[in-house]
Structure 1
């Protein structure tokens, strides 16, 4: 697989393939970077912020597409991004204006799998979570509650955990450990 030079958007969040996130873009360097992406000069990678390392982010990131944007009342830009492909950040360089450009290598996405048996509770719980958080649900034109990979990745995006702990699960070869983790988490809250 070939490496790619990508614009790097760094936030304190995790976005995975199939996931959507609305982000406020306020700084001039981020606005310029988004303009370069929209002009087709770069692909966009989204990565979770990491302090105290050579890179400004974790090495596991997601290539994403800008699927919507709006100008906010304060004249900042709101963009909705959708994750499409996992990537590994090999290196990153900060530009003069403060934006980041990364060299990234595409990685294998988790394959789709049907949810079955006791794991169906995870899907039902995510559906309830979206009912309580309609702003998140509104980002999606379709939800895939029958797909274990889609459901487990959405849980990783919304669970209140440290990003480093989420990324340990993201770096697994499939969604099985995440499904087990979320199931145990839900069971522990039901048993209380």
Structure 2
């Protein structure tokens, strides 16, 4: 879909978190509008857009989403013991929301413009410490990524997005890192953020 046209209409799922390209998102679905969203996406083999909530809440009235979000594709689903639907989605291409509308059922739809993919970039020597830090964080916080090929850590795009999702950042910071278009700038900003988390 993303490769055929620069624009598309997507169902939007405003959340209090940021999904990065290549990221993993686990959700429990219970509102009828989002159950419909999952059914539609599964039936049509398409994704939905995840945007950070700028105003409002995840439940109830439609929230105000950030203008830049990430395509999410459902890769697995299950039913929890309490009967609620759980899904696992993976982050894909980023987009900018040009306009939104609310359906009668309360589901938010957005006309989006796809962002071009970032060009591959090796991790420069002066930022190599971020590779080690990310490996340690993966070991503790993201065991599902322990077996990723070593080349991933040499890719500034992959490294920046993984470090951004693993660090305990605020929503505004996560959104800013999502909106950067230069993977080396993203890594440099993450390097500058790191001293905040160092133990005294």
TM-score by length of 2: 0.83
Aligned positions of 1:37-186 closer than 5 A: 37-40=41-44, 43-51=47-55, 56-133=64-141, 136-138=142-144, 142=148, 144-186=152-194
- The CA deviation at 1:91 is 1.4
Give the Cα separation in 2 of the matches to 1:89 and 1:105.
Answer: 6
**Corresponding residue for residue 4 of structure 1:** 8
RMSD, aligned CA = 2.4
User: Does structure 2 conserve the Cα–Cα contact (< 8 Å) formed by 1:169 and 1:177?
Assistant: no
Aligned length: 189
Alpha-carbon deviation of 1:190?
A: 4.9
Is the 1:16–1:84 Cα contact (8 Å) retained in structure 2? yes
Query: What is the CA-CA distance between 1:59 and the residue it aligns to?
Result: 0.5
SS of alignment partner, residue 39 of structure 1: helix
Deviations 1:17-52 (A, max 9, x none): 111111111212111111011111753111111117
Residues 13 and 157, structure 1, Cα contact 8 Å, conserved in 2: no
1:2–1:115 CA distance, 2 compared to 1 (3 A): closer
Consecutive unaligned residues of structure 2, counting only runs of 5 or more, are 57-61
| Higher mean C-alpha deviation, range 149-158 or range 35-44 | 35-44
Aligned pairs (5 A) from 1:10-49 = 10-40=14-44, 43-49=47-53
